[in-house]
C-alpha cells in the first residue's frame, strides 16, 4: 500500500490526568498537503514541537467531545498560533458547545485570533472535504455528545501511464482529465481511449478515530475497510462494569469492532492509568481480532510501526 503522502503521529493517548510521558488525547495526521489534528488534550502544543512539527500550520482540528482530556490543550494552542502571527484560516469541527468554549475563554482572557477561525458543528456524514481528504463523522456512545471520525485520502480514480500517454501524442496538460477517467485527444484531433493510457488509481489511505465510546458494534460499519482503526480501550475485561458505567470500551470490545470492520490494523489507546502492563491490552484484543495490533503511546508513528 502506498501511504507516502501520509504522516501520522500519536501525540498523546492517555486517559484523564496528564503526567510526564502520559499525555492525553491528540493525534496529528498529514494527508498530502492537508495537516489536521484529532483532539487536543493538555500539552498538545508541547508534543507538536517534540515530534518535529514546530511551525507546521494545521488546516483543521477535529474534536471528538468536550471532556477535558480531549480539549484542554486547545485554548493554549490557538493562543500560541496568534502569538506566532498565524494568518492562514483554521477550521474547527466538533460537538455543539465547542465554539462557545473557545469564545468564552477568549472573552475572559481578552484573547483574539490573528487568523480566521471557522467553526463547524459535527453531524452525521461528511464534515470536511478538500482536494486531499474527505472526513466523515458518526456519533459515539459516551457520557456527553461525542463524535468519531473517518478520514479518507482522496486519490484520482485513474493513474496515467506516462510513456504510453506521450507515445500516443498526449501532453502533460492532458493528464488531469485522464486521471479523472476522460478520454484524451491529441493536438491533431486523434481520440485516445482512456483505458489505453491509464491504469486504475491506487487506493487511498483510510483510518477511523473512535474515542471515547462504549462498545457499539454499529461502529464497525462506520469503520468498514479502514487500513487503521484507532479505538479506545480504557479498560480490560475484568473491569467491564467500569467501562459500562463510564461509557468506555474494553480491549476485547475494541478488538470485536476491528474484526467486524475488517480493519487492517488496530491501534489501541486511552488506557486507564490503573494498569501497569499495556501489553495486556494487546493480548486481550488479540483473542478476537487476528490483524496487527499496536499499543498506542505518545510519539508512536503507526504507519512506521505497522511495517
Ligand atoms: Zn470522555
Q: Is 239 left (phi over 0), alpha (psi -120 to 50) or beta?
A: alpha
CA distance linking residue 164 with residue 61, whole number of Å = 42
Domains of the chain: 6-155+266-279+290-306 (3.60.15.10), 158-200 (no CATH)
CA distance linking residue 152 with residue 294, whole number of Å = 20
Query: Residue 17 pLDDT more than 80?
Result: no
How far, in Å, from the CA of 19 to the mean position of ligand 1? Answer: 18
CA distance linking residue 11 with residue 189, whole number of Å = 54
How far, in Å, from the CA of 99 to the mean position of ligand 1? Answer: 18
What positions carry a catalytic annotation? 69
Average model confidence (pLDDT) for the chain? 95
How far, in Å, from the CA of 199 to the mean position of ligand 1? Answer: 45
Highest mean pLDDT among 53-57, 179-183, 221-225, 270-274: 221-225
How far, in Å, from the CA of 212 to the mean position of ligand 1? Answer: 5
- Which residues make Cβ contacts (< 8 Å) with residue 129, sequence separation at least 6? 135, 154
Kind and range of the H or E run holding 200: strand 198-200
- Summarised one tens digit per residue, pLDDT across range 124-164 is 999 999 999 999 999 999 999 999 999 999 999 999 999 99
Q: What was the pLDDT predicted at 40?
A: 98
Whether the pTM exceeds 0.85: the reply is yes
Backbone angles phi, psi at 65, to 5 degrees: -165, 175
How far, in Å, from the CA of 245 to the mean position of ligand 1? Answer: 12
- Summarised one tens digit per residue, pLDDT across range 58-93 is 999 999 999 999 999 999 999 999 999 999 999 999
- Summarised one tens digit per residue, pLDDT across range 192-211 is 999 999 999 989 999 999 99
- Which residues make Cβ contacts (< 8 Å) with residue 59, sequence separation at least 6? 34, 35, 36, 88, 90, 91, 130
Q: Ligand 1 is a single-atom ion; what residues have CB below 5 A from it?
A: 67, 212
- Bridge partners of residue 190, in order along the sequence: none
Confidence of residue 55 (pLDDT cuts 50, 70, 90): confident
User: What are 46's three cell numbers?
Assistant: 508541547
How far, in Å, from the CA of 65 to the mean position of ligand 1? Answer: 7
CA distance linking residue 14 with residue 234, whole number of Å = 9
How far, in Å, from the CA of 180 to the mean position of ligand 1? Answer: 42
**Cβ density class 19-43: b for 16+ within 10 Å, e for less:** eeebbbbbbbbbbbebbbbbbbbbb
Q: What is the 3-state secondary structure (H, E, C) of 49-71?
A: HHCCCCCCCCCEEECCCCCHHHH
CA distance linking residue 209 with residue 28, whole number of Å = 12
How far, in Å, from the CA of 255 to the mean position of ligand 1? Answer: 20
Amino acid at each position: 500500500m502506498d501511504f507516502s503522502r501520509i504522516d501520522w503521529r500519536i501525540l498523546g493517548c492517555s486517559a484523564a490526568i496528564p503526567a510526564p510521558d502520559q499525555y492525553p488525547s491528540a493525534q496529528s495526521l498529514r494527508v498530502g498537503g492537508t495537516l489536521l489534528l484529532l483532539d487536543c488534550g493538555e500539552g498538545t502544543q508541547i508534543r507538536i514541537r517534540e515530534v518535529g512539527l514546530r511551525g507546521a500550520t494545521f488546516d483543521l482540528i477535529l474534536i471528538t467531545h468536550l471532556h477535558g482530556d480531549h480539549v484542554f490543550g486547545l485554548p493554549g494552542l490557538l493562543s500560541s498560533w496568534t502569538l506566532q502571527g498565524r494568518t492562514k484560516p483554521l477550521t474547527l469541527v466538533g460537538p455543539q458547545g465547542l465554539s462557545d468554549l473557545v469564545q468564552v475563554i477568549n472573552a475572559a482572557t481578552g484573547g483574539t485570533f490573528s487568523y480566521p477561525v471557522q467553526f463547524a458543528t459535527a453531524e452525521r456524514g461528511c464534515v470536511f472535504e478538500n482536494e486531499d481528504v474527505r472526513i466523515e463523522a458518526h456519533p459515539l456512545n459516551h457520557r456527553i455528545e461525542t463524535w468519531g471520525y473517518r478520514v479518507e485520502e482522496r486519490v484520482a480514480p485513474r493513474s496515467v501511464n506516462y510513456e504510453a500517454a506521450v507515445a500516443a501524442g498526449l501532453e502533460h496538460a492532458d493528464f488531469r482529465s485522464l486521471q479523472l477517467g476522460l478520454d484524451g485527444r491529441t493536438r491533431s484531433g486523434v481520440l485516445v481511449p482512456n483505458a489505453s493510457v491509464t491504469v486504475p488509481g491506487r487506493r487511498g489511505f483510510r483510518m477511523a478515530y473512535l474515542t471515547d465510546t462504549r462498545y457499539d458494534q454499529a461502529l464497525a460499519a462506520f469503520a468498514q475497510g479502514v487500513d487503521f482503526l484507532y479505538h479506545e480501550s480504557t479498560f480490560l475485561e475484568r473491569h467491564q462494569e467500569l467501562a459500562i458505567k463510564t461509557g468506555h470500551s474494553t480491549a476485547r470490545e475494541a478488538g470485536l469492532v476491528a474484526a467486524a470492520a475488517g480493519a487492517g490494523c488496530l491501534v489501541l489507546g486511552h488506557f486507564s492509568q490503573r494498569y501497569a502492563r499495556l501489553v495486556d491490552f494487546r493480548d486481550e484484543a488479540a483473542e478476537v481480532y487476528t490483524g496487527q495490533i499496536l499499543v498506542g503511546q505518545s510519539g508512536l508513528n503507526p504507519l512506521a510501526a505497522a511495517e
